[in-house]
Structure 1
Amino acid sequence: MGLRFTILLSLISTLSFSQTNADSLYQVIKPKLIKNGQLLLALPVEHQRDSAAALFLEDLLTLVKVEEAMEFNYAPIRNLSVQRSDDEKVCILTYLIPRAGGRYTHVGILMYEDEEDEYHSVQLTDNSMNAEYRPLKPSSWHGGLYYDLIQKKVEGRAVYFLLGYRAVNPNVHEKFVDVLDLSNDRVQFGLPVFYIEEFNDRVFRQAPYRLRMQYSGRITAVLRWSDDYDGIVMDHVSPPDASQKGLYLNYGPDFSYDGLKWKDEMWHLESEINFQNDTQTPPAGQNVPTGLSPARPRTNGGR
């Protein structure tokens, strides 16, 4: 009994010491993240923003080395979007860096626990080439600012659907649904679970690995989870006339809505659904033109 008690006491002391160190690290790094997170958006010259962004990423990568980073309160760091899964095994941080000419760099960090409950952190590198039909690694991530995370099961395992915004270029913006699959000791983005033949004037020869809705950078569009619909709802965007089909810089909402319903472990597209949009989509901001629709209040949570 005495030996067991000593081992238990030692374990509690070790965990407490680890927690104290993690909290101390957070308190030291947090003010620097707040400062440089604001500067990488607001500084007028690109090389100045790049310097602030480099310091911001360096501090963020230091912070996520500790497992406790999964639960930190990121709310004071206003340029970060933070999404956590229902099973508390995934936390994803994403943000944007403004570039000259109205372009943006998308940056992400994934924190997760594997099947053995071991903690990992992975930097996500925006290097996607519009891969509709293949999975992507963290080094070829389809970058974006995530604003919601929806957990489902495929073949008995948890998969995580990510709703995101991406500034494709100054004229075309995008809302998208991507998939995070952590099975078989891998990190994979994309899964062919979209039972869709045509969407956004694209015809799919097979099930795509992710779904993208592109539209004019001058407007905003809805793509969000709806509890009332029990699925994902989105504006139906289209060109002003048939001659401009495929010119997404001219696409905009036509006042009808489409939906994605989860059935038989696939997303199925439903056209012209009945949906009352009683929320206001915020206008594009000067520094971070997200145009995000209100989502479930999960961002920036934590202790």
Structure 2
Amino acid sequence: MIRKSVIAFFLIALTTRTFAQQIGAEGLKQLNFYQDSLKHLGATIVNNQNDLARKNANYQFIKTLVAALKTPFSFDFPFDSVKTVTLTTSPDQKFRIFSWHVANDDGSYRFYGAIQMKTAGPLKLYGLEDYTPLIKAAEDTIGDNHSWFGAQYYTIIPVLGYHPYYVMLGWKGNNDKSTKKVIEVLSFQGDKPVFGMPVFNGNGKRRDRIVFQYARQASMLLKYVPSQNLIVFDHLAPPDKKSADRPETYGPDLSYDGYKLKNGEWIYMDNLDMRNVPDDQDQTYIDPKLTERPKTTQPIRKKKVQ
């Protein structure tokens, strides 16, 4: 572990030095100025109790972010002081996604985001427009950046092949009763982003994306295990049979399911043995209001006899 940490440190130091040489002192100064502005605007978006003040700050945030990204070589600037935005870069370094949310007074959220492509020339940026209220069948809908099923992404998984695509894990929030998480698909057609693809195969059905909903006071594991090409997640269950049609009451039942990558598609697997799943220290994203996983009265599913 120490050797890996040392190597990582030197790689970061080398990357930082190369970036500084590319952008120059003036460009770096400009990006740091923009970062400071974004940091303060982000704090207003999250902490201000006034709904109009949050939305006005978000409007200024978007304008400032776009201006910052127009700075040459901005793709390699980490914006690591802006804690209110989740910034995730694809492992192949082809693009990165900025995603964040603004809370509404009724406990719901609206999501905002942008895809920045890595280019040697002018900025190539796709704004993401949250279309959630108008999407009636989220798991069976394909859209573009103007009809986005908004979420805040923390993991990007590249799937290479004849038609390459990326799987993204994200936190979606929902309302004052329940929270959602999503397994999303992003591809590029004609250099334009497309969200959703029928690559999830399970329970006799193909889905364009996977959406989970559960009680707001609960927390849910959703992570990627690279060594097994496996997305693993808590199995969600109602507290009793009477609540089976009320996903806002669901919570983890201490068993686990997953999707495993096979021949370019993701095959559903239930009752995973977590003892065989290594802890890769993947980042997970939960509602920041939650500090610990609450106890649940959900029944534990018994494993099937092989």
Instruction: Find the aligned partners of 1:169 and 1:245 in 2 and give their Cα distance.
Output: 19
> What residue in structure 2 maps to residue 297 of structure 1?
none
Percent sequence identity over aligned pairs? 24
Residue identity matched to 1:110: I
2:73 match: secondary structure:
helix
Q: 2:141 aligns with which of 134, 139, 154?
A: 134
Alpha-carbon spacing, 1:180–1:22, altered in 2? closer, same or farther (3 Å): farther
Query: Partners of 1:184 and 1:229 in 2: how far apart?
Result: 31
| Letter in structure 2 aligned against 1:121 | L
**Match of 1:218, SS?**
coil
Q: CA deviation at 1:169?
A: 1.6
The offset of 1:144, in angstroms, is: 0.8
Aligned residue for 1:175, secondary structure, equals strand
Q: Does 1:197 align with 2:203?
A: yes
The residue aligned with 1:125 is 129
Kindly state the Cα deviation for residue 229 of structure 1 after the two structures are TM-superposed.
4.2
Give the structure 1 partner of residue 188 of structure 2. Answer: 182
1:153 aligned partner: 160
Distance 1:282 1:86, change over 3 A: closer
Task: Mark the CA change 1:39 to 1:187 in structure 2 (over 3 Å): closer, same or farther.
Answer: same
Cα distance between partner residues in 1 of 2:292 and 2:85: 15
Q: Find out whether 1:70 has 2:75 as its counterpart.
A: yes
Q: Which residue is equivalent to 1:173?
A: 179
CA contact (8 A) 2:154 2:284 kept: no
2:138–2:211 contact (8 Å) kept in structure 1: no
CA–CA separation in structure 2 for the residues paired with 1:67 and 1:180: 26
- Give TM-score scaled by structure 2 length: 0.79
CA contact (8 A) 2:103 2:110 kept: yes
Q: Distance in 2 between matches of 1:232 and 1:247?
A: 25
Amino acid of the structure 1 residue aligned with 2:45: L
| Cα distance in structure 2, aligned partners of 1:125 and 1:167 | 16
Check conservation: 2:31, 2:71, Cα contact below 8 A.
no
Which residue among 78, 84, 92 is the counterpart of 2:89? 84
Q: Secondary structure at the match of 2:141?
A: coil
Question: What is the SS of the residue equivalent to 2:157?
Answer: strand
SS at 2:207's partner residue?
coil
Change (3 A) 1:67 1:170: farther
- Quote the residue 1:210 is aligned against: 209
Question: Whose relative contact order is higher, 1 or 2, with alpha carbons under 8 Å and at least 6 apart?
Answer: 1
Q: CA deviation at 1:162?
A: 0.7
Contact 2:90–2:158, Cα closer than 8 Å, also in 1: yes
| TM superposition shift of 1:112 | 1.5
Residue in structure 1 matching 2:42, options 37, 51, 69: 37
Question: Conserved in 2, the CA contact under 8 Å of 1:221 and 1:281?
Answer: no
* Structure 2 residue 279 is matched with structure 1 residue 252: no
Structure 1 residue ranges without an equivalent (≥5): 1-15, 199-203, 293-303
1:285 aligned onto 2:288: yes
Deviation at 1:119, TM superposition (A): 5.1
Deviating runs (4+, > 4 A) in structure 1? 16-21, 116-119, 276-283, 289-292
Q: Give CA deviations for 1:143-164 in whole Å, capped at 9, x if unaligned.
A: 0111111111242x43111100
Partner residue, 1:95:
100
**Superposition deviation, residue 263 in structure 1:** 0.1
Q: How many residues align?
A: 267
Stretch moving more, 126-135 or 260-269: 126-135
TM-superposed CA distance for 1:282, in Å, is 8.0
Q: Deviations over 1:106-133 (max 9, x none)?
A: 111111248x998510110111314322
RMSD in angstroms over aligned alpha carbons?
Answer: 2.8
* Alpha-carbon distance in 1 for matches of 2:248, 2:147: 25
Distance across 1 between alignment mates of 2:121 and 2:201: 32
Q: Distance in 2 between matches of 1:18 and 1:149?
A: 27
Query: Partners in 2 of 1:263 and 1:285 — Cα distance?
Result: 34
Structure 2 residue 116 is the aligned partner of structure 1 residue 111 = yes
Displacement of 1:61? 1.6
Task: Name the aligned partner's letter for residue 125 of structure 1.
Answer: E
Say whether the 8 Å CA contact 2:22–2:73 is kept in structure 1: no
Q: 1:59 aligns with which of 40, 59, 64?
A: 64
Q: Which amino acid aligns with 1:139?
A: H
Q: Distance in 1 between matches of 2:286 and 2:85?
A: 18
After superposition, the C-alpha distances for 1:185-226 in whole angstroms (9 at most, x for unaligned) are 22101111111226xxxxx4xx21111111111110001112
In 2, the alpha carbon distance for the partners of 1:110 and 1:33 equals 17
- Normalized against structure 1, the TM-score is what? 0.79
